[in-house]
Amino acid sequence: MYQEYVRRYGDGWTAMHHYCWALVDIMRMGKLAGRNRAVHDHAAERALGNIDYVLQNSTTSFSFRPEILASRARLLIRMNDYGQAAQTAQMLISEGPTLPDGYVLLADILVKAGRTNDAKAVLAKGDELVTDKERYAKMRGTIKIK
């Protein structure tokens, strides 16, 4: 089956087990949130390292890359690294301009940074380019803009 998955999804599949490890660490972060900050932070860094490994070993055509980029941005938001999170969301928009995730993530980051007008502009661009309007509307509804 492994070779079939590589054929079906591309060479990036060979590194996907690192994404699975990252997801385990992200779940551990939730359980550790109030208990041990050092262990929580270590899990976050390990998750980020594993996500970056998959991204470094996949091309923009890799089927799961948009999901992995979105997970990276969400993780960086949780780590309060809004600069890197914004860069990741921008990368997601560049690589998948018709997908909703990058626009919503970037708008969320901009709202958190107090840049409401910039967030509105990002969402307007998404209104124009995103092809799955229903999914985009649901995701867009999570952004609280005053």
Mean pLDDT of all residues in 116-139 = 97
List, for residues 18-33, the tens digit of each pLDDT value: 999 999 999 988 876 6
* Residue 34 confidence (pLDDT) above 70: no
pTM attached to this predicted model: 0.92
Query: CB atoms < 10 A from the CB of 96, how many?
Result: 18
Place of tokens 């969301």: 89
List, for residues 108-125, the tens digit of each pLDDT value: 999 999 999 999 999 999
Question: With contact defined as beta carbons under 8 Å apart, do 76 and 106 qualify?
Answer: no
Query: CB atoms < 10 A from the CB of 26, how many?
Result: 20
Query: Which of 8-12, 48-52, 96-100, 115-119 has the lowest average pLDDT?
Result: 8-12
Distance CA 10, CA 113 (A): 37
Mean pLDDT of all residues in 2-22 = 92
Query: Which tops the pLDDT comparison, 117 or 34?
Result: 117
